[in-house]
Amino acid sequence: MKLLTTLLLGLVLGLGASLPLADVTGEDATLPDRCDGIEFDAITPDEKGNTIFFKGDHLWVGFHGPAQLSNELFKELDDDHHIGHVDAAFRLHNPENQDDHDHVYFFLDDKVFSYYNQTLESGYPKPIQDDFPGIPSHLDAAVECPKGECVANSVLFFKGHDVHVYDIDTKLVKIKTWSDLPVCTSVLRWLEHYYCFHGHNFTRFNPVSGEVSVGAYPKDARRYFMKCPGFGHGGDYKTPKCSEVKLDAITTDDEGKKYFFAGPIYMRLDSHRDGLHAFPITRAWKEMINGVDAVFSYTDKIYMIKEDQVYIFKSDAHNTLIEGYPKSLKEELGIEGPVSATFLCPNEHTVHIIKGDRILGVDLSATPRAVTTDFPLPISNIDAAFCDDNGVNVFKGSTYYHYESAFTLSVSRIAPFAENITPAMMGCEE
């Protein structure tokens, strides 16, 4: 059920946009408008995953919606200190230290403010040096960079072309000069990628070297981080009614990243802390121009099935299609298409393949691969299925069925009670 809750919480947000979008319809004309080409003072996610954009004494919560006064959410930033803007901001994700975990830090001149749940922590504001020794005042931008993306758990502080890399554990600071990167007025980490905002543009960069990513950078933020007239980037997925939800596939890769697929889009389900957003499938898997019928992950690879073809991709940053693919289902898995759904349970080698009203088992560790089990199912017309430590969830339209295990699903002759997807589960419309 944990998977289902996460999945359904994100589905409505994902289907609402192919990239982070903003609805400017009906905004107060007296408020600042992001579509005018604003240069943001700071950008940060909060502890709930909402991305907050700051400009002067106003802010925007999320990728859609109108501006509001900053002191409506963070009153101490202005009411007590009469400061009209935020220099820099970041959220610190530190599960090992609950005193700092998911706290949001704001930097104003030579002071730092620490907030949690929009409440200023006791003892703040304080001089920046008290919390972050070696970090200068009057910063341009800041962003968290966890170990694995940076060498150590770090915060990157930007001032001009200099970047102060602050090691969270040792409190040591290394200064780098990234002359090829524009001077960033704000920086956002989003889905393990790093974006330097400058003017109304952004440039993606490597957080270790400062190298600008390959691509046509800079890009206009209005095409990607908000919806503005004349700046469309293609794709505008409407929020579905709960009775209209229909999934094609769900999987988790070996790094624990969860994905669902619906029509032409996919969504990262484990990214709720950074906001849940949908993208065209071709953005990550460019060969899948017609969507997918079923997906599963096995040994650092993602198997995507469409009609009678299997595409196998490396689970790397580029989702590289393995040479020689696609291949036919018969050649790769020993079955004929089409396939309705697939799922692979944790630490197992048998992929369960649903074809119509039957469920087949194929041992992926065997050569050649062939069907080892074949059972009838009490449910037909299944759209998608997923297995984790909590059992198997089978999706059919706007309903789902829960089984304790793949074995229980295989031997069941009577379907369990079908549960409806509700607004409380996913925020969809009645």
Which of 173, 192, 223 terminates a domain? The answer is 223
| Residues whose CB falls within 8 Å of the CB of residue 49, separated by 6 or more in sequence, listed in order | 272, 273, 274, 275, 276
What percent of the chain is predicted at pLDDT more than 70?
A: 83
329 and 373 in a single domain? The answer is: yes
pLDDT score, position 90: 95
Q: Is residue 166 part of a domain?
A: yes
Same domain, 298 and 181: no
215 and 246 inside one domain = no
> What per-residue confidence (pLDDT) applies to 273?
59
**Token digits for 62?**
């999320």
Give the pTM: 0.71
The dihedral region occupied by 79, where left means phi > 0, alpha psi between -120 and 50, and beta the remainder, is alpha
Angle formed at CA 105 by CA 100 and CA 109, multiple of 5 degrees? 140
Alpha-carbon span 416 to 430, nearest angstrom = 24
Q: 340, 328, 339: which is closest to 369 by C-alpha?
A: 328
CATH of the domain at 329: 2.110.10.10
- Return d(Cα 42, Cα 52) in angstroms, integer: 8
The whole domain housing 106 covers 21-223
Q: Average pLDDT for residues 136-141, to the nearest whole number?
A: 97
Rg (alpha carbons) of the chain, rounded to whole number: 24
Indicate if 67 and 183 belong to the same structural domain: yes
For residues 217 and 286, membership in a common domain is answered with no
Q: Is residue 231 part of a domain?
A: no
Boundary of a domain, candidates 174, 191, 223 = 223
Q: Is residue 384 part of a domain?
A: yes
8, pLDDT greater than 50: no
116 and 259 together in one domain: no
Residue 96 scores a pLDDT above 60: yes
pLDDT tens column, 226-263? 777 777 544 444 555 778 778 899 998 887 888 889 88
Q: Are residues 217 and 354 in the same domain?
A: no
Q: How far apart are CA 302 and CA 249, in angstroms?
A: 12
- Name the pairing type of β-strands 51-55 and 265-268: unpaired
Residues 210, 250 within the same domain: no
Q: What is the mean pLDDT of residues 362-386?
A: 93
State whether 263 and 184 are in the same domain.
no
The answer on 258 and 158 residing in a single domain is no
Residues 65 and 149 in one domain: yes
Strand-pair partners of 360: 353, 374
Our CA dihedral for 93, 94, 100, 105, rounded to 10 degrees, sits at -30
Distance, in Å, from the CA atom of 264 to the CA atom of 290, rounded to the nearest integer, reads 7
CB 66 within 8 A of CB 30: no
Nearby residues of 189 by Cβ (< 8 Å), 6 or more positions away: 143, 144, 145, 195, 207, 274
Report if residue 396 sits inside a domain: yes
Split at pLDDT 50, 70, 90, the class of 20 is very low
Alpha-carbon distance of 44 to 153, in angstroms, equals 17
The pLDDT assigned to 114 comes to: 92
**387 domain residue, yes or no:** yes
Considering only residues 127 and 21, tell me which one the structure prediction assigns the higher pLDDT: 127
- Of 136-145, 274-283, 291-300, the range with the lowest mean pLDDT is 274-283
Tally of structural domains, the chain? 2
- As a whole number, the mean pLDDT across the chain is 84
Comparison of pLDDT for 354 and 76, the residue scoring more = 354
Report the 10 Å Cβ neighbour count for 380: 13
Q: Which range has the worst mean pLDDT, 243-252, 275-284, 287-296?
A: 275-284
State the average pLDDT over residues 265-272.
73
Q: Are residues 49 and 166 in the same domain?
A: yes
Q: Residue 329 — pLDDT band, cuts 50, 70, 90?
A: very high
**What is residue 164's predicted lDDT score, i.e. its pLDDT?**
98
Residue 76's Cα: distance from chain center in Å?
31
- Domain membership flag for residue 314: yes
Look at the block and give the residue holding tokens 């998911």. 102
Asked whether residue 120 is domain-assigned, the answer is yes
- Between 166-170, 191-195, 200-204, 371-375, the lowest mean confidence (pLDDT) is in 191-195
Residue 62 pLDDT grade (very low, low, confident, very high; cuts 50, 70, 90): confident
**Is the residue at 232 inside a domain?**
no
